[in-house]
Every structure is written in C-alpha cells, then in structure tokens.
C-alpha cells in the first residue's frame, strides 16, 4: 500500500515531464501498531528509492477515538521539477499522432469501492477468491524512471496517467480542444482481474472503460514515425506496451472506441 501511495503521486508528476524530487507521508491511527506502520513506511521508502525520489519525512499521529479499531489514514504528496520550456502540456499533439499504452499491474488504487462490493457478493471458493484478491492488490507500477528515459530520447507530445475515470476521462485532459482519439479495443487483451470484475459485477464495457484502467496504466502520444522506437525502449525496460489508437479530428466525443 505504501508503493500505491507513492505511485499515485509520482506518476501524476511525470505526465508533465516533471522529475519527482521528494515525497512526504502522513500516517494516522487510533493507536500506532509499530509492526504495521514499519511495514508501510518501508514500502513507501522502497517506492521512493525506485523512483529516484527522496523521502524527506512525514507525520505520524495517534488520535484515540477518531479511528475505529485498526483503521488508519495514509496520505502523501510529492514535489517534482521540470524546466518551463520542457513542460509537456499536450499542445504539440496533432492529428495522426499515435497512442502507445503501457501496461498496468492491476486496478492501480482505483475503483476499490466497487471491487470490494463485487468480491463481497461473490460466491467463489476460498482459493479462487484469494487469487482474485491477490491480483487486485498488486502494487501500482512506478513509471517515472521509464518515462524520464523516454523523455530524454524522444519527443513525447503528451501523456495521460490512467487513474479514476479510466481511459474515457483521463486521455482528454492531455488533448487540445479540437482533437479526439480513437481507441482500438482489440489492440490489447483485458487482464484477468478486469475480466473477472466485469463478469461478476455485470459491468458494461462503457462503464469498465470509465471506471478502471483496463490494463493500461499510462498513455503516451507520439509522432507515428518514432512509435516503434519508443515501444522498443519501453519493452527494453521490462514493460509491455501496445499501439492502442490514434489522434483524430474532434467531431463529438473526445474518446471513440472501435
């Protein structure tokens, strides 16, 4: 869970080209459970190290009566930097650019209210349920090191960190107002955890794409002539990636699925 916390911050920073500099955390509970807190803080520290981001410190608070049982609050924030002239705003995105989707590890800390509801109603056997729970709780991928390498080698026109709102709501944030994207749904396979959630939660495809990342954690927008080189570099860094769509002229919706 510590890695999830760090990833949600540093992955947001990197989409504008900002290198994460430092991170601070906040951990609050009714009574501090030392072993649990140590495990979480270690996870945060490891994630910061893996993102080349300094863990400067944070706040640990005990508030008896405010939290029930072993419940706790965990929060954090990160600061990054990028030269003003190198900020990736999406303004250079043009019609004909291609979209490269980088794999997610799972739900990536989003949609868990619905996930818990579906699991609670499930009649699966314990072993199968444990497998699904393990898939749902895989730590969120940390993208900063990969993205910084790509930025240093290629012209990245735009990026989108796919969090709550899925592809449908996150990609348009990086686009100029006159442009839209066409997403090819057959360009990648929906991972097992999302197939299970869709089947057992009776969720429509539109809702899946609006709630979950559906296996795509980060989207890059690049010129078509460099897309193969960008994908090769991504795969050299042990991430899977896919050609998931293209930029088109907007004529209605910002995201069109085909």
pLDDT tens readout for residues 20-38: 999 999 999 999 999 999 9
pLDDT of residue 222: 99
Does the residue 186 lie in any domain?
yes
Spans of the chain, pLDDT less than 70: none
Cα(38)–Cα(50) distance, integer angstroms? 18
Among residues 165, 169, 156, 182, which one has the least CA distance to residue 91? 156
Cα(202)–Cα(206) distance, integer angstroms? 12
pLDDT of residue 208: 98
Domain stop point among 43, 59, 86 = 86
> Are residues 29 and 137 both part of a single domain?
no
CB-hemisphere CA count at 13 Å for 128? Answer: 7
Among residues 190, 188, 193, which one has the least CA distance to residue 138? 193
Both tokens assigned to 235: 């795969």
> Are residues 131 and 203 both part of a single domain?
yes
DSSP assigned state of 146: H
Model pTM? 0.95
Domain stop point among 86, 108, 138 = 86
Taking residue 51's Cβ as centre, other Cβ atoms within 10 Å add up to 26
> Are residues 16 and 116 both part of a single domain?
no
pLDDT of residue 69: 87
Both tokens assigned to 119: 């699991």
pLDDT of residue 65: 87
pLDDT of residue 126: 82
pLDDT of residue 180: 99
State which residues form the domain around 225: 98-257
């Amino acid at each position: 869970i510590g890695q999830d916390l760090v990833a949600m911050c540093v992955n947001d920073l990197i989409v504008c080209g900002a290198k994460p500099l430092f991170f601070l955390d906040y951990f609050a509970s009714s009574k501090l459970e030392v072993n649990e807190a140590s495990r979480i803080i270690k996870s945060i520290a490891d994630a910061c190290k893996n993102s080349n981001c300094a863990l400067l410190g944070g706040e640990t608070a005990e508030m008896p009566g405010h939290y029930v049982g072993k419940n706790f609050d965990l929060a954090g924030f990160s600061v990054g930097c990028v030269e003003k002239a190198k900020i990736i705003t999406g303004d250079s995105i043009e019609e004909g650019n291609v979209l490269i989707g980088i794999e997610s590890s799972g739900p990536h800390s989003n949609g868990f209210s619905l996930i818990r509801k579906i699991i609670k109603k499930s009649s699966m056997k314990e072993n199968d349920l444990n497998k699904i729970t393990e898939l749902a709780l895989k730590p969120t991928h940390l993208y900063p090191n990969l993205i910084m390498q790509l930025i240093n080698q290629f012209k990245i026109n735009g990026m989108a960190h796919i969090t709550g709102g899925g592809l449908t709501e996150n990609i348009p944030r990086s686009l100029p107002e006159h442009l839209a994207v066409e997403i090819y749904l057959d360009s990648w396979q929906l991972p097992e955890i999302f197939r299970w959630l869709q089947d057992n939660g009776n969720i429509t495809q539109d809702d899946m794409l609006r709630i979950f990342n559906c296996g795509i954690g980060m989207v890059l927008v690049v010129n078509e002539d460099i897309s193969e080189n960008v994908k090769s570099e991504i795969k050299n860094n042990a991430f899977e990636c896919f050609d998931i769509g293209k930029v088109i002229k907007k004529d209605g919706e910002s995201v069109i699925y085909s």
